[in-house]
Structure 1
């Protein structure tokens, strides 16, 4: 439950996923748990304020503000690359079960506009200071590695079905940086991401570090499922930028943006565990 703090061929899951909206009454894609007026102020109006806040944070950044960053600036990524096969084995054993990895659109009300239903799924380990104990227990090696990441904010397996397109979108704050570790990357087509004006492609066992506040979109134009370990961590900052980001993330943690997703995931796991 959410609490504080050899070549493998993988195709699209064919098992019927239980309808959690009927079984639990918990997830209603067209009816957010809270009224729109309760959505975080900066989520609702962030497009008007984002530029100002991002420029402020960029002034105090200790690493590049470019769309794609140099992995050598983040020494901990080497441990992920060195142990990627163990991480992949845990992802395949745990996260590819469609009962265990719900659609991101069902979990997060704020992702419904960009997350195609049952096409972009997620197996959460950590999120904004909360952890999913049963998921950590199923992935001990991954857990050990991500717990050593400085400034860890979120960690989950991101699972993209064949033929999926995630439209252009932007992250919440420049105070967070995103890292992808490629785990399962089909080779029979093109799995790629555009970040600003750059197009990048995943490689199994390699890390990609980028700033998701730049406009970005994703395609899986293959017949297989793409799996990455997605990590978000605090941007290294000088003061007072670090103080500002810490306060902002603490506020977001208690907002509907996080709490709605947390409540939905708790309900999903409760239903799945009760049927096993």
Structure 2
């Protein structure tokens, strides 16, 4: 009986996540999207959230982030120095499971921290920014993210609802052709201006200008209604999300998920080759595997 209750909760949560918002992934893509596996946890996060569960969230709920906007020019100076030194870049190998697909379309990053203390490379190259971030415990992850001219991020949703995404414009075209779209609503970055959004809504980004875009990108802990819910959120982040740590340079921490990602990606490359060769066969095998796993778990 318990396993059927678990299945019902899982299916109900997945349907809620799929139909939440105005923009949706195609249904069969949603069934195999990585965010599906976190659906029950995410529904819990929405239910316990102390801030509105809307695509965009006002920065007024996060007074502790004001030092970032107040210091945006100093932060920008460090970001520009990194760009000039070509340190804002794609991963050098398959060791960034969270953002691996973004690199193919031009996106680049330099990690400042990831659910832990700052990377050694960040403390060395960005001392002012890491100093400010260390005074804001609610910022769990931070990076400089670059979207060069002509780059894009296609529709996706992030897998974990325990945080709210923060973007601070540092070097922006100041042009509406350079934008992020969250649940169908567009926002164009501006220098020194911050925006916050729920990254578990479908979102995409594009730089259709001939100028670069660099932002400070942070994951900020979602405020929860009850202390025990906040403790659970931090537990999940510390023991699951933190495993996605990716290095900038040798000597930086690499999380457990990224240590095994290269092996899994080799399998994924073979799957992608099969899809190119025979797409119907690829999907038949894909859903057969998922169906077989469910039957093994739930069939008497």
Q: TM-score if structure 2 supplies the norm length?
A: 0.67
Match of 1:234? Answer: 221
Match of 1:86? Answer: 74
159-168 or 182-191, larger mean C-alpha shift: 182-191
Cα deviation, residue 244, structure 1: 2.1
1:190 corresponds to 2:177: yes
197-206 or 100-109, larger mean C-alpha shift: 100-109
76-85 or 157-166, larger mean C-alpha shift: 76-85
In 1: Cα distance, 2:149 partner to 2:78 partner? 21
Cα deviation, residue 64, structure 1: 1.4
List structure 1 runs of 4+ shifted beyond 4 angstroms: 104-107
After superposition, the C-alpha distances for 1:204-231 in whole angstroms (9 at most, x for unaligned) are 0011111111111000111111000011
After superposition, the C-alpha distances for 1:122-161 in whole angstroms (9 at most, x for unaligned) are 1111012142123223222212221222322111110111
Larger RCO (CA under 8 A, 6+ residues apart): 1
Gaps of 5+ in 2: 1-31, 253-300
Q: 1:266–1:196: structure 2 CA closer, same or farther, 3 Å change rule?
A: same
Gaps of 5+ in 1: 1-43, 270-276
1:213 corresponds to 2:200: yes
| SS of 1:205 mapped into structure 2 | coil
In 2: Cα distance, 1:248 partner to 1:114 partner? 25
1:77 corresponds to 2:61: no
| SS of 1:80 mapped into structure 2 | helix
| SS of 2:113 mapped into structure 1 | strand
| SS of 1:136 mapped into structure 2 | helix
190-199 or 134-143, larger mean C-alpha shift: 134-143
Match of 1:122? Answer: 109
1:109 corresponds to 2:97: yes
Partner residue of 1:47 out of 29, 35, 38: 35
After superposition, the C-alpha distances for 1:33-55 in whole angstroms (9 at most, x for unaligned) are xxxxxxxxxxx874333332222
Contact 1:182/1:229, CA 8 A, preserved across alignment: yes
The structure in which a higher percent of residues are helix is 2
Q: 1:239–1:201: structure 2 CA closer, same or farther, 3 Å change rule?
A: same
Cα deviation, residue 239, structure 1: 3.6
Partner residue of 1:62 out of 50, 53, 75: 50
Partner residue of 1:160 out of 147, 171, 178: 147
Contact 1:116/1:166, CA 8 A, preserved across alignment: no
62-71 or 76-85, larger mean C-alpha shift: 76-85
In 2: Cα distance, 1:189 partner to 1:56 partner? 35
Match of 1:169? Answer: 156
Q: CA RMSD in A?
A: 2.3
Match of 2:236? Answer: 248
Matches within 5 A, 1:17-56: 46-56=34-44
